[in-house]
A and B are shown apart, each in its own frame.
Chain A
Amino acid sequence: MMNYDIVVIGGGPAGLAAAISAYDSGAKNILILEREDKLGGILNQCIHNGFGLTRFKESLSGPEYAYRFIEEVKNRDIDVFLNTTVISLSKDKKVTAINSENGVFTVKAKAIILAMGCRERSRGALNIAGSRPAGIYSAGTAQKYVNIKGYMPGKSVVILGSGDIGLIMARRMTLEGAKVHAVCEIMPYSSGLKRNIVQCLDDFGIPLYLNHTITKIEGKERVTAVEISEVDEKRKPIKGTEMRFECDTVLFSVGLIPENELTKNAGISLSNRTRGAIVSQNRETDVPGIFACGNVLHVHDLVDFVSEESELAGKSAADYVINGEKEHNSVNCINGKNISYVLPQKIDTDLEENVKVFFRVSGTFKNCTFKLSCGDKVIIERKKKIAVPGEMETLLITSDKLKEIDGDLTLSLEGA
């Protein structure tokens, strides 16, 4: 059995940043395990720009952003196994993986960092009437076809769901000569970034139908047309509002789910809100010495936040390896009114540092107030002109505010 101080599962932006930060915080015996044949994760297929604006004050492509971290990993004495899939993980921090060189093997670690990213919600969840002709892909799969394999999945497209990947692919397919007829979104708002609506749809005159869903897919062997309908407040299709588009391809972009099979495997508690592990502010799960960061923990829209969070996880893992297990003196941080999730879910109150709370709101709100309270006591209040579910919000609890906390915290959005 191999022995490492820290094993990082996943070599995407989260795993890379975590490994670098763990190394720089004093842990020296680190291994990254990555399933694909190169590091960088999902960024390798995200050839559009817009990455790194916060961190590098530059607009980078996905591969450019990843490259900066891959170089940093290479500059340090960090081991990397590519083409290696982790198949199981145990509470006592044994990682079982498989690759063609070693077959199945086990690595024992003092600390583990989970950085497996997320997967796309599948078409099965969509529940659309009709047979299953060819020509239906998830937007991420289409992205891989076009950008990595150089093959266009279709010429005439309707997109279901207005998540960022769907928006990016609407532009990408248009640039490559396809006709994108419409993007339809069942919710009254888009879950994508505003800038992507402007530069991916508006720029090319692609209509976005809010409160609409696909109600029928026609075609036996290959998609030949789709029907979309408006939905009512209960998201049920309204009769008489049908529109039909002839097309050969349907892309769906209906959300991402953290990839947590291994996490469940190890008996780590998951949040039904984020679908990722429940963590403390240092990104430690409820199994001491196992940390999580990036999209496996909660779905981020900005890679800059992924890197920041992963550096924190890396530093915490190094601290665990060097100084041993720390007792947590924590309160729960709970999502209140109009808030869909809060992370971290546990906060230690005996810290001498600031804690950043990440959260998402559950609808579109204007001129509202974020309120973090502890019982009847309001700890922090912040006004916000506009808040949408597609954009992650943050609130900073300074170390002196932490001292005021003597019970569970609730974060809510008021005045809506």
Chain B
Amino acid sequence: MEKVNLTCIECPMGCRIEVEVENGKAVSITGNSCPRGKMYAENEVVCPMRVVTSTVRSKSGKMVPVKTDKPVKKALIFEVMKTINSLSCNTPIRIGDIICENISDGANLVASGNVD
């Protein structure tokens, strides 16, 4: 059995969570203040996931803020960034408009800001 110390990043509280891991799975989780923290810890010891936020240069030259609509594998962040930087889009664009479907593991890349 292995002990892992984590800081939960799900909210600004930043709870310190201790996880006991057996065969690559969390068997005991302590220190979290809410269920979101438990879920974070469970995932974090198996396969860390992150939402990626960045920008895409639109055809008009204006930068469009973008994010993945679900967390993607942390290990694939740079791959996702490479795709993001190869994309372009039209403006005007609205929050939630899909810029790239299934950029990684079923997550879409969507606009996270309005650009006229």
Contact = CB atoms under 8 A, between A and B. Distances in A.
Contacts of B54: 47, 175-176
Nearest to B52: A175
B7 A64 contact: no
The residue among A60, A199, A301 with the most chain B CB atoms within 10 A of its own CB is: A199
B14 A67 contact: no
B63 A61 contact: no
A196 B72 CA distance: 18
Contacts of B8: 195
B9 A47 contact: no
Given A63-B113, A63-B114, A147 B7 contact: no
Contacts of B85: 176
Nearest to A304: B12
B53 interface: yes
Contact of A150 (B51, B55, B67, B114): B55
Contacts of A194: 7, 14
A199 B50 contact: yes
Interface residues of B, number: 29
B55 A147 contact: yes
Nearest to A40: B113
B12 A64 contact: no
Contacts of A50: 12
A147 B62 CA distance: 10
B91 to A, nearest CB: 13
A193 interface: yes
B114 A195 contact: no
A53 B55 CA distance: 22
A198 B7 contact: yes
A197 B85 CA distance: 25
Contacts of A301: 12
Contacts of B12: 50, 53, 193, 195, 301-302, 391
A203 B74 contact: yes
A143 to B, nearest CB: 11
30 contacts: A47-B53, A47-B112, A47-B113, A48-B53, A49-B51, A49-B67, A49-B112, A53-B10, A53-B11, A54-B11, A60-B112, A63-B113, A64-B112, A64-B113, A147-B65, A150-B55, A150-B57, A150-B61, A150-B63, A175-B52, A175-B78, A176-B54, A195-B10, A195-B12, A195-B14, A198-B7, A199-B9, A203-B48, A203-B50, A302-B12
